Structure 1
Amino acid sequence: MAKLNTGNGTRLLKDSGLDAAPVPFDSLPVIDLAPIFNGDPDTKTQLATDLRRACTEVGFFYIKNHNVPQSVIDDAFGTARRFFAQATDEKMAIHVAKSKNNRGYAALLEENTDPTARGDLHESFDMALEVPEDDEDVTAGAVLYGPNQWPEDDGKFRQSVEAYYAEMIKLSHQLLHAFALALELEEDHFDDLVDKPLATLRLLHYPPQFGEIDDRQIGIGAHSDYECFTILCQDKISALQALNTNGEWISAPPLPGHFVVNVGDQMARWTNDLFTSTIHRAINRSGLERYSIPFFFGPNYNAVIEPLESCVDETHPARYEPITSGSYVNSRFAETLAHYDPSKEYKL
C-alpha cells in the first residue's frame, strides 16, 4: 500500500494502477445550489443537509444551478486554448518564476503534487486577487498577495480571465454560506475571513498520454487541495478521478452545466476532519488535448485555521494546531512547486 504525504498528514493509497472504477456520474452527489440564491429557509435547510452528507461521506460532488453564465465559461476555455497554443517562448515571457506571489505560466513537469512522483504532465497559467505592490499586506510580507502577470498586447486574455475570476468569487461566497449552514453555523459565519481571499484561478492544459503510462508521471499526481474548497470546470474530456473511502479510484466525468467541487485541507482542518479533504488525480488517456479550469478558494492570508469549537469534543479532540492560511499554503507550495521559494526576492 502506497503512502501519500499531504499537508494534513500521511494518507494510504491502495496499489490500484491507473484505472478508475467505471461508475455512473451520479455515484458522486449532485448538489442543487438554487436555495442559497433564492433565500427560502426550508430549501436552504435541505441544501445544508445534502451538503453535509456529501462533505462527510465523499468530500467530492457536483453543483448545479450555480448562476455562472455559460458565455463566461466558454470564453475562458477559448482563451485557455489560444494561450497554450502559443510558442513556448511567448508563454515563458510571463513565467511564474518572475513573480514572487506565484502568478503566471508554468511548463510541463514544473509541478509535482505527489512528492513521490516524477512531475505532473500539464502546463498552467495562474492568477489570483489583483493586489498592488504598495498594499499594506504586501509590504508586510504577505507573499501570496500581489499583482498578476499578463501577456503583453493581449487585453482580451486578461478581460476573459478576470471575468471568469469575478464569477468564481461570487459563487465561492455563496458556496461558503452553504458550508456554514451545513456546519450548523450562521450563514455569514466565515464572511469576515474571506474579504481578501487567497483565491487562485488556474488554466490547465493536459497533453494526451499514449501507450504504457508510468504511474509516477500523470496529468496531476494524487493529492489533496490546500484551500477550503476547489470549484472545477472541465471540458468534454474525462480525466479526473477521486479516491473513495474504500481506496478505489472513482471517475468524475464532466457533466454539462455542472461544476465539480471538492473539499480542501483548510476546510478539513476547520471541521476537525468532519468534512473530508479528498485525494484526487487526473490522467488524460483520451488521445486528445484536455483543458480544465480549477478555482481554489481559501481565506485571507492572516486568517487563522483551527478546528471549530462545534467540531471538537471529548470524543473528537482537536487534531490540528492553529496556523494562518498564508503559512499553510506557502508550506504546501514550497513542497510541490519547483520554482517556488517564498523567502526569495523576485524582480517583475
Structure 2
Amino acid sequence: MTAPHIPLIDMTRWRQGDAAARNDVVTQVDQALRESGFLLLGNHGVSTDLARGLRAAAKAFFSLDYDVKAKYETTVGGRGWLPSGKEANSYDGEEADANSPDMKESYTIGRNASTGNPELDEYWFKPNVWPSEVPELAALASAYMTAVYEVYDELLRICGEALGLGTEWFIERTSAGTRTLNINRYPALKETGEPKDGQFRVGPHTDWSIFTLLDRQPGYGGFQVEQDGQWFDAPFVEGALVINIGDLMARWTGDRWCSTRHRVLPPQDQAPDEELISLIQFCDANVDAVIEPMAPPIGTNTDLPPIEAGEYLRRRALAATVG
C-alpha cells in the first residue's frame, strides 16, 4: 500500500516568494487536501520556544493532584480540564464507546471573543478558566493561540486562492469562530495500565470543523493516518505543524478536500515511561455560518444538505462525551 501524500510545505515561499512560488504553494496545498487531507507546514512562524514554554506550563498543571485539577473540570466542548475517561472520539454519526474512552486528559482554552449575539456567546464564548496554581499558563496559551491564528488565516487565504474564490472568502466566514486550543496529555503506560481492546490515546476519528493545526511530539504511541483501509505512521518533521481539515471543510468544498480518519496509538510496551503532550488548535467556521456544498467545478458531491456550523459542532461534542 502507498502511504498518504502528506507533503512538507514551506511557508516562506508563500510569504516571500514571487508569483510563481506562491502559485506553487497554492497548488501543493490543493493537491494535499484532495489526496489525503493532510500536510506539514514548515517555517510557519510560531515560536518553538513559545510552544516549549506552553508544554512546560501544561505539564505543571497536569502534575497537580486530582482534587486540585477537579476545580477546573469541564465537559467535552467546554473550557477547562477534561479528565481521562470522559471522551471517546469517533466518526460522524457514531456514538462514544463508553467502554473504551480515549487514554488522555486535556486542558481546553477558547478564543476570547464574542459574536454580539447573547445566546450564541453564552454557549460558545464563555470565559476561559485559568488555574491559579499555574499562573503562567494563561499568558503562554494566549500568546500561542494568537500566533497560530495568524497561520490559520494564511491557510484560509491559500485555500481561497486554490478554489478561485479570492483570499478573503473563507476569512469572512470564519473570523468569528471559536478557535479552540486543546492541550492533550497522553500518560505513560505505567500510569494507565494495559489498554483495553480497541482503546487508543485518541480513538480513530475525523476532526469536526475547518482546520486543525497540531504541534505534536513523536513517540511509540504515535500519530497515524488511514488510507484505503490501512493505517500509516504520519511523517514527523521537527518544528513543523501537522495540518488537516475537518468534516465541515470537506462538506463545504463538496468533498473536493477530504476529512481523513486518524488516531493516536495507545501507550506501548516498548516505552512504558513515555508521556506525550500535544498542542492542538482547532479552527472553526462562524458558529452561525451555514455550510452548503460548493457546486462544480469545485465540489464533487452536492447531495449533502446545508448545516449550521455551531449545531454540527454541538452534536459532535455530545457524541464524543462519555458518561
Provide the TM-score with structure 2 as the length reference.
0.88
Identity of aligned residues (%): 27
Match of 2:148 among 165, 168, 181: 168
Say whether 1:219 aligns with 2:201. yes
Give how far 1:198 is off.
2.0
Over residues 124-165 of structure 1, what are the superposed CA-to-partner deviations in whole Å (9 max), with x where a residue is unaligned?
Answer: 000111247xx7323356622221111125431101111111
Deviation readout 1:95-146 (Å, 9 max, x if unpaired):
014x9x61110111100113346211000000111247xx732335662222
Q: Secondary structure at the match of 1:96?
A: coil
Structure 1 runs of 4+ off > 6 angstroms? none
2:306 paired with 1:322 = yes
| Paired position in structure 1 for 2:58 | 80
CA distance in 1, matches of 2:151, 2:224: 24
Contact 2:5 2:32 in 1 (8 A): no
Q: Is the 8 A contact 2:224 2:262 kept in 1?
A: yes
Q: 2:46 aligns with which of 35, 48, 68?
A: 68
Contact 2:293–2:301, Cα closer than 8 Å, also in 1:
no
Distance 1:329 1:303 in 2: 12
Aligned: 1:237 with 2:237: no
Q: Is the 8 A contact 2:50 2:144 kept in 1?
A: yes
Query: Aligned residue for 1:200?
Result: 180
**Offset of residue 296 of structure 1:** 0.6
Does the 8 Å contact 2:5/2:35 carry over to 1?
no
Cα 1:143/1:266, change in 2 over 3 Å = same
Change (3 A) 1:76 1:94: same
Structure 2 match to 1:111: 87
Distance (whole Å) between structure 2 residues aligned to residue 61 and residue 266 of structure 1: 18
CA change 1:84–1:153 in 2 (3 A) is closer
User: For structure 2, which runs of at least 5 residues remain unmatched after alignment?
Assistant: 91-95
Give a deviation string over 1:228-273, Cα, whole Å, max 9, x none.
11110012425100001x2111111532110111111011011111
After superposition, the C-alpha distances for 1:7-42 in whole angstroms (9 at most, x for unaligned) are xxxxxxxxxxxxxx997xx96321222233226322
Shift of 1:310: 4.4
CA–CA separation in structure 2 for the residues paired with 1:182 and 1:209: 43
Tell me: CA distance 1:261–1:312, structure 2 relative to 1, closer, same or farther (3 Å).
Answer: closer
Indicate if the aligned counterparts of 2:212 and 2:282 stay in contact, CA closer than 8 A.
yes
Out of 277-286 and 144-153, give the one that drifted further. 144-153
Could you say if the C-alpha distance between residues 103 and 268 of structure 1 is closer, same or farther in structure 2, counting changes exceeding 3 Å? same
3-state DSSP of counterpart to 1:76: helix
SS at match of 2:303: coil
Measure the CA separation in 1 of the matches of 2:307 and 2:179.
18
Alpha-carbon offset, residue 311 of structure 1: 4.8
Which residue pairs with 1:344 in the alignment? none
From 276, 279, 282, give the equivalent of 1:293. 279
Deviation of 1:212 (Å): 6.0
For 2:138 and 2:263, locate their aligned partners in 1 and report how far apart those are by CA, in whole Å: 28
Counterpart of 2:93 in structure 1 is: none
* Contact in 2 for aligned 1:272/1:311 (Cα 8 Å): no
Aligned equivalent of 1:139? 119
Cα distance in 1 between the residues matched to 2:214 and 2:30: 19
* In 2, Cα distance between equivalents of 1:118 and 1:252: 23
State which drifts further: 269-278 or 228-237: 228-237
Give the Cα–Cα distance (whole angstroms) in 1 for the partners of residues 13 and 177 of structure 2: 24
Answer yes or no: is the 8 Å Cα contact 1:129–1:146 preserved in 2. Answer: no
8 Å CA contact 2:208, 2:246 repeated in 1 = yes
Instruction: Give the match for residue 55 of structure 1.
Output: 33
Hey, what's the Cα distance between the residues in 1 that align with 2:78 and 2:5?
Answer: 35
Aligned to 1:188: 168
Task: Quote the Cα distance in structure 2 between the aligned partners of 1:92 and 1:40.
Answer: 52
**Secondary structure in structure 1 of the residue aligned to 2:180:** strand
Residue among 249, 254, 262 paired with 1:267: 249
**What does 1:29-40 align with in structure 2 at a 5 Å threshold?**
29-38=7-16, 40=18
CA–CA separation in structure 2 for the residues paired with 1:215 and 1:173: 40
Distance in structure 1 (CA, Å) of the matches to 2:15 and 2:294: 26
When the two chains are superposed, the root-mean-square deviation of aligned CA atoms in Å is 2.4
How does the TM-score come out when normalised to structure 1?
Answer: 0.82
